[in-house]
């Protein structure tokens, strides 16, 4: 009998394959007394040296394969490996208790990991896993045991595991890994970021899946819906396989179309389609999908999963890499949106009572100019290499916008005095994601060069719905009439001031909303690269006069259900006429993504 499990979809796509259960067995650690603690200490030092060589090799392999940012995780592992306090404690216990080093290492590493887990900070929980991963390497070196890996799978498989460490993913057989189903992890975990970069469908948060699935059991994985099906029926298998093939064929057609030129409506209006990225490694995929720029570079991801803030040079290199790769196309750098659900201990950002309304984004930046100015210096320097634009998140009013612009101007003058090359007076924009910013959009538009509507937060704040609370998730609705009116108002203010108004939230990547967004006056759309081909296809079947009529009709409605019904009917009619987006269900899901 088939079993349906729900987790967190972190990388879209469908996989149908047998399960490969990757369970790293714990080393059998012996305990015995020793006569010469000094000998044990030398054994430990030799294991540290061998492990250091392995980690440096993994760093080089990962940097070559996935880029420097993915490789940086191994710097953290090297720091843990060489931690002086850890070494001192192990040495002290060795000479005090005269026990074998494997036993002492096990005790100390697990105590450190438990302390990290108990803090309750997501970053430290990931550091706990890193500590155990480094300790496992040391143990296997001491015990002369091979470390299990995913270098060579027996064939196409869906990898099932509690979680995958950076060491596991660095050497993973990406050809035969069709999907990842993980008990732990999150959208921002290393495994999730890697899966998206490699376009491997992935679902995390599956609790105890790895402990219960049979090796070799047939599985279906839907990385968009966050669904895993164990032992699917023949009917289910047939349905998913057919949808997967249709999706693959349609996506290939869309990618070829994307390569042929920009998205243009039936009446000749060009609509820039841009990509949302977190790391430079995602740029090649975005370009292949037809992106004509980066509409949202989430720069905060440079600050996550590490022990200290990135310096100016590291940030400059990351931003400059994007600028060079995209030049002359635009790259929109959002200043760090730290806080909320992105907790960063090394910046003293911890859990708050009401984090989404708390110390985050520009509020944090203005309170920590020492960190903010370093980022702005890096951004301005990178702008010398391409079309960099800067936008500020969570702007709630004119005073905030003026203050961040004042800081930016000061940094630019500082670079001028130092004779450091930079991009000069580059375009500066405001994100529109707070209702107060919409109400003041006409005022804000006079003092910035573009708007970018962040629909994820705008919907959350305007409808008073926590978008990650499953109990009220059904109330989070982009089709709500209040949301559409807010978008229309912001777009109208931008149009009145003669500046462009884009959208960079999830709503931009849902073809169901493409027509109405254009009709409301949105001038560009930025989304996950995987959504670009479907939205481009949708645009080629739209006429702007009809889109404006649709928007006008929807704005007269008072019910989200009625609006969604209208949009679905228009979507179905357009696609049944052969626009080429058949197979999309109009709910932000691709043809290969079965409910």
- Give the per-residue pLDDT at 467: 61
Q: What class has domain 37-143? A: mainly alpha
- Give the per-residue pLDDT at 345: 44
Say yes or no to pLDDT of 592 above 50: no
By annotation, the residues acting in catalysis are: 190, 504
State the average pLDDT over residues 475-494.
95
Of residues 322 and 260, more confidence is placed in 322
Q: What is the DSSP string of 70-130?
A: HHTHHHHHHHHHT-HHHHHHHHHHHHHH-B-HHHHHHHHHHHHHHHHHHT--HHHHHHHHH
* The two domains 3-24+149-249 and 258-578 share their CATH topology (first three levels equal): no
Q: How far apart are CA 7 and CA 163, in angstroms?
A: 13
- Give the per-residue pLDDT at 339: 58
- Give the per-residue pLDDT at 486: 97
- Range with the poorest average pLDDT among 162-171, 281-290, 426-435, 565-574: 162-171
Of residues 297 and 194, more confidence is placed in 297
Please report which confidence band the pLDDT of residue 254 belongs to, taking 50, 70 and 90 as the band edges.
low
Q: How far apart are CA 478 and CA 129, in angstroms?
A: 37
Q: Which residues contact 100 (CB under 8 A, 6 or more apart)?
A: 30, 31, 32, 33, 34, 40
Signed CA dihedral, 215, 218, 224, 226: sign only: negative
Q: What is the CA radius of gyration of the chain?
A: 26
pLDDT in tens, 525-574: 998 887 888 899 899 999 999 999 999 999 999 999 999 999 999 999 88
Q: CATH classification of 258-578 is 3.20.20.60, yes or no?
A: yes
- Give the per-residue pLDDT at 350: 43
State the average pLDDT over residues 7-32.
85
pLDDT in tens, 178-198: 999 999 876 656 677 778 767
User: Which residues on neighbouring strands pair with residue 526, listed in sequence order?
Assistant: 274
Of residues 168 and 254, more confidence is placed in 168
Average pLDDT, the chain: 85
- Give the per-residue pLDDT at 401: 96
Angle ∠(507,509,511) on CA atoms, nearest 5: 95
Q: How far apart are CA 530 and CA 537, in angstroms?
A: 13
- Is residue 83 a contact partner of residue 135, using CB atoms and an 8 Å limit? no
User: Which residues on neighbouring strands pair with residue 219, listed in sequence order?
Assistant: 17, 230
State the average pLDDT over residues 37-57.
91
H or E, element range at 574: helix 560-576
Locate the domains of the chain by residue range: 3-24+149-249, 37-143, 258-578
- Give the per-residue pLDDT at 122: 52
- Give the per-residue pLDDT at 307: 64
CATH number of 3-24+149-249: 3.50.30.10
Q: Which residues contact 202 (CB under 8 A, 6 or more apart)?
A: 9, 10, 11, 179, 180, 181, 182, 191, 192, 195, 196, 221, 223
- Give the per-residue pLDDT at 174: 85
pLDDT in tens, 425-478: 999 999 999 999 999 999 999 999 999 999 988 998 999 887 656 567 678 889
State the average pLDDT over residues 477-499.
97
pLDDT in tens, 383-416: 999 999 999 999 999 999 999 999 999 999 999 9
- Range with the poorest average pLDDT among 168-177, 315-324, 406-415, 489-498: 168-177
Query: Parallel, antiparallel, or unpaired: how do β-strands 3-6 and 227-230 relate?
Result: antiparallel
Q: How far apart are CA 455 and CA 437, in angstroms?
A: 13
Q: How far apart are CA 130 and CA 112, in angstroms?
A: 11
State the average pLDDT over residues 506-518.
93
Q: How far is CA 156 from CA 16, 18, 295, 391, in A?
A: 9, 8, 35, 43
Among candidate residues 468, 398, 384, the one with its CA nearest the CA of residue 430: 398
Q: How far apart are CA 442 and CA 494, in angstroms?
A: 7
DSSP type of residue 339: B
Say yes or no to pLDDT of 349 above 50: no
- Give the per-residue pLDDT at 243: 81
């Amino acid at each position: 009998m088939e079993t349906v499990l729900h987790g967190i979809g972190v990388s879209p796509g469908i996989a149908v394959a047998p399960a490969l259960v990757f369970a790293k067995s714990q080393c059998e650690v012996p305990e015995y007394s020793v006569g010469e603690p000094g000998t044990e200490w030398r054994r430990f030092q030799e294991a540290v040296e061998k492990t250091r060589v392995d980690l440096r090799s993994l760093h080089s392999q990962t940097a070559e394969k996935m880029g420097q940012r993915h490789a940086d995780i191994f710097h953290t592992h090297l720091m843990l490996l060489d931690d002086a306090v850890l070494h001192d404690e192990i040495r002290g216990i060795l000479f005090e208790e005269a026990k074998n080093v494997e036993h002492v290492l096990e005790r100390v590493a697990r105590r450190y990991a438990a302390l990290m887990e108990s803090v309750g900070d997501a970053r430290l929980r990931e550091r706990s896993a890193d500590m155990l991963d480094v300790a496992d390497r040391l143990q296997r070196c001491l015990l002369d045991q091979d470390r299990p890996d995913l270098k060579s799978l027996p064939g196409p498989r869906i990898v099932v595991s509690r979680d995958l460490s950076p060491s596991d993913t660095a050497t993973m057989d990406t050809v035969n890994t069709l999907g990842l189903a993980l008990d732990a992890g999150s959208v921002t975990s290393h495994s999730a970021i890697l899966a998206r970069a490699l376009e491997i469908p992935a679902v995390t948060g599956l609790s105890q899946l790895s402990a219960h699935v049979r090796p070799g059991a047939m599985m279906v994985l839907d990385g968009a819906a966050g669904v895993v099906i164990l032992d699917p029926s023949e009917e289910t298998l047939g349905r998913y396989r057919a949808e997967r093939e249709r999706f693959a064929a349609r996506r290939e057609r869309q990618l070829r179309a994307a390569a042929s030129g920009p998205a243009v409506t039936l009446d000749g209006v060009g609509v820039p389609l841009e990509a949302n990225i977190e790391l430079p490694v995602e740029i090649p995929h975005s370009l292949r999908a037809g992106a004509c720029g980066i509409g949202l570079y989430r720069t905060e991801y440079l600050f996550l999963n590490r022990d200290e803030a990135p310096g100016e040079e590291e940030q400059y290199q990351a931003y400059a890499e994007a600028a060079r790769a995209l030049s002359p196309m635009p790259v929109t750098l959002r200043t760090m949106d730290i806080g909320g659900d992105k907790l960063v201990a090394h910046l003293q950002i911890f859990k708050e009572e009401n984090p989404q309304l708390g110390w985050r984004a520009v509020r944090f930046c203005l309170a920590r100019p020492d960190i903010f100015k370093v980022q702005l210096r890096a951004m301005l320097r990178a702008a010398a290499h391409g079309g960099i634009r800067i936008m500020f998140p969570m702007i709630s009013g004119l005073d905030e916008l003026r203050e961040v612009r004042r800081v930016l101007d000061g940094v630019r003058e500082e670079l001028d005095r130092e004779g450091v090359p930079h991009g000069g007076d580059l375009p500066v924009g405001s994100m529109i994601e707070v209702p107060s910013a919409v109400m003041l959009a006409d005022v804000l538009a006079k003092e910035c060069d573009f708007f970018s509507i962040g629909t994820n937060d705008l919907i959350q704040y305007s409808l008073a719905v926590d978008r990650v609370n499953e109990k009220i998730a059904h109330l989070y609705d982009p089709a709500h009439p209040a949301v559409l009116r807010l978008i229309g108002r912001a777009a109208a203010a931008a149009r009145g001031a003669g500046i462009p108004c884009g959208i960079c939230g999830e709503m931009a990547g849902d073809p169901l909303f493409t027509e109405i967004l254009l009709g409301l006056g949105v001038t560009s759309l930025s989304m996950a690269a995987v959504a670009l081909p479907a939205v481009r296809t949708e645009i080629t079947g739209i006429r702007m006069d009809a889109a404006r009529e649709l928007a006008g009709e929807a704005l007269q409605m008072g019910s989200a259900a009625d609006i969604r019904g209208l949009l679905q009917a228009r979507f179905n009619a357009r696609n049944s006429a052969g626009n080429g987006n058949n197979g999309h269900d109009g709910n932000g899901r691709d043809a290969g993504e079965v409910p």
